[in-house]
Chain A
Amino acid sequence: MIKGVVTILWKDLLVEWRSRERLGPMVVFVFLIILVFNFSFALGGSALHEIGAGVLWSAFVFAGLIGLNHTFAAELDNNCLDALMLAPVSHSSLYLAKMLGNLLFLLVVELLSLPFFSLFFNLSPGLYLVPLVAVLTLGAACLASVGTLFAAMSSNSRLREFLLPLLVLPMIYPALIWAVKATAIVFEHSRPSATGALATAAFWPGSLTEPVSFLLVYSIVFTTLALMLFDQVLED
């Protein structure tokens, strides 16, 4: 199974490297959303704490939808999906490869857009940001697990670009709430204390455990569900 996952994932990365159809638009879209929000709300120095987490996740989710729409694009061009389904690898391998590909693209987008976000929302660098890696990874995993399944469902529809957000957004909503909450908790630690120094709270704030646990459980549950349903989705 692992061999199948790695083979399909490697092929997807090679196709993306050649076509650059996914990553470029996703990154540009995130930059634009951050810019628009930055200039729409004149919150000055408090913008990070007031709307920062929400802006960041709105940008990631909408950019993620662009990427998810392309999940099966290469497979549909010449009916390559038939060749993958016919190959002696389990259909679960196909789901996992696509899901991991989407996760990877989301993580790259997050990585590239964070410096840009820091610039516009005055996010100071520091060790307190380390837990953000876990939050961003798990949030992206939630979006990738749900999104990949629905991308497969909508891939044969002429209205897939319209259909996918309609299917994904309601399902991802609970995870999104917790991802925003967790990100806001991390950002809270960038607030200067009364003495002017950055907060030196515990490396992992206690209040972060609950939202991060929820994101972990959500991504595991939906990945498992998707693995169970994917065979049926492919056939339909």
Chain B
Amino acid sequence: MTTGTVHLEQATKRYGALAAVNSVDLEIEAGALLLMAGSNGAGKSTLLRLLAGLIRPTQGRVLVNGQPPHSSLESRAEIGLLSHKTLLYDTLTARENLLFYGRLYGLENRRETAEAALANVGMSARADTPVGTLSRGMKQRLALARATLHRPGLLLLDEPFEGLDRRASQALSQRLTDLRARGETTVVVVTHRVDEVVDLVDRVAVLERGRLCCDSAWRGGGLEELQALCDSHQEGV
């Protein structure tokens, strides 16, 4: 089984009459970093939730590593999710949060893995601090440690830079660069801050009104070109 491969076939998610995601066909090869762009309400977050298996498609198929993530535990074990919400428990300490998720993912050597993850994001000194008392930047670093604790083959990032200051954003970008350098993880990132990922992207997809209107390789280039590519297909531009 190749880890981190994504296959969407006519994937559609409807809420009543509204098609939040409409007949999307998409293939993402292992190890790629896909930037998902689109205006507000275009369906980007819904598409990420489909990929994460948090919701089922109304029609079509969503496969991660060849299996539907909603019903396959093996497939879900390969997915990491980082959003602007931390997905962490405020009353538990940083270490307790990671140990809890480590247990949930059935990791062996949980303690060592958690300590290594804390060290990777520079949080060892705050390991015993309740998450609720950490700054926004620290929480987001810890959230990244949580999302990557089980070394997912597919990492989904939903507006990961939201609310972060310049320094924290750069630290997060650096962590993504490190992940990309290892080449083990496929990354799908939804963000309006394309400047933070311009050097990492190798593919761009643009959603508009739930439809995939652009899916092209990114061969590298400047921020303005990438921004222009993202904007060119958006409504009203």
A is bound by B = yes
A-B contact pairs, 5 of them (CB 8 A): A74-B91, A78-B86, A78-B89, A85-B54, A88-B106
Q: A7-B104, A14-B96 are in contact. Are A86 and B89 (CB under 8 A)?
A: no
Which chain B residues lie closer than 8 Å to A3 at the CB level?
Answer: 103, 106
B224 within 8 Å of A by Cβ? no
Q: A11-B100, A83-B101, A87-B104 are in contact. Are A18 and B87 (CB under 8 A)?
A: no
Give the contacting residue for B88; candidates A8, A78, A90; CB below 8 A. Answer: A78
CA distance A18 to B74 in the complex (A): 33
Q: Which chain A residue shows the least CB distance to B55?
A: A235
Within 8 A of A (CB), among B69-88: 73-74, 76-77, 79, 81, 83, 85-88
Q: A3-B106, A88-B77 are in contact. Are A78 and B91 (CB under 8 A)?
A: no
Q: Are B81 and A86 in contact (CB under 8 A)?
A: yes
CA distance A79 to B158 in the complex (A): 13
CA distance A84 to B52 in the complex (A): 12
CA distance A4 to B55 in the complex (A): 21
CA distance A88 to B78 in the complex (A): 9
Q: Are B56 and A88 in contact (CB under 8 A)?
A: no
Smallest CB–CB gap between B69 and chain A, Å? Answer: 8
Smallest CB–CB gap between B180 and chain A, Å? Answer: 22
Which chain A residues lie closer than 8 Å to B73 at the CB level?
Answer: 88-90
Q: Are B87 and A235 in contact (CB under 8 A)?
A: no
Interchain residue pairs A-B with the least CB separation, the first 5: A88-B77, A79-B85, A83-B87, A18-B91, A88-B73
CA distance A7 to B74 in the complex (A): 19
Which chain A residues lie closer than 8 Å to B104 at the CB level?
Answer: 4, 7-8, 84, 87-89
Q: 13 other contacts beyond A79-B85, A87-B76, with CB at 8 A cut-off?
A: A11-B92, A14-B96, A15-B91, A18-B92, A18-B130, A74-B89, A78-B89, A79-B83, A79-B86, A82-B85, A82-B87, A88-B76, A89-B104
Q: Which chain A residue shows the least CB distance to B70?
A: A235
B146 within 8 Å of A by Cβ? yes
Q: Is the interface of A mostly helix, strand, loop or mixed?
A: helix
B162 within 8 Å of A by Cβ? no
Smallest CB–CB gap between A177 and chain B, Å? Answer: 38
CA distance A88 to B107 in the complex (A): 11
CA distance A3 to B106 in the complex (A): 9
**Interface bits A73-102 vs B (CB < 8 Å: 1, else 0):** 010011110111111111000000000000
Q: Could you say which interface size class chain A belongs to?
A: 20 to 34
CA distance A94 to B76 in the complex (A): 15
Which chain A residues lie closer than 8 Å to B55 at the CB level?
Answer: 235
B38 within 8 Å of A by Cβ? no
Which chain B residues lie closer than 8 Å to A74 at the CB level?
Answer: 89, 91
Q: Which chain A residue shows the least CB distance to B147?
A: A83
CA distance A74 to B52 in the complex (A): 21
CA distance A178 to B63 in the complex (A): 49
B90 within 8 Å of A by Cβ? yes
Which chain A residues lie closer than 8 Å to B160 at the CB level?
Answer: none
CA distance A90 to B96 in the complex (A): 22
Which chain B residues lie closer than 8 Å to A77 at the CB level?
Answer: 89-90
Which chain B residues lie closer than 8 Å to A40 at the CB level?
Answer: none
**Interface bits B48-64 vs A (CB < 8 Å: 1, else 0):** 00001111100000000
Q: A87-B101, A87-B105, A89-B73 are in contact. Are A14 and B87 (CB under 8 A)?
A: no
Q: Which chain B residue shows the least CB distance to A19?
A: B91
CA distance A80 to B91 in the complex (A): 12
Smallest CB–CB gap between A128 and chain B, Å? Answer: 42
CA distance A87 to B85 in the complex (A): 16
**Interface bits B25-54 vs A (CB < 8 Å: 1, else 0):** 000000000000000000000000000111
Q: Which chain B residue shows the least CB distance to A90?
A: B73
CA distance A205 to B83 in the complex (A): 58
CA distance A84 to B85 in the complex (A): 14
Smallest CB–CB gap between A150 and chain B, Å? Answer: 21
Within 8 A of A (CB), among B98-142: 100-101, 103-106, 130
Q: Are A235 and B89 in contact (CB under 8 A)?
A: no
**Interface bits B128-169 vs A (CB < 8 Å: 1, else 0):** 001000000000000000100000000000000000000000
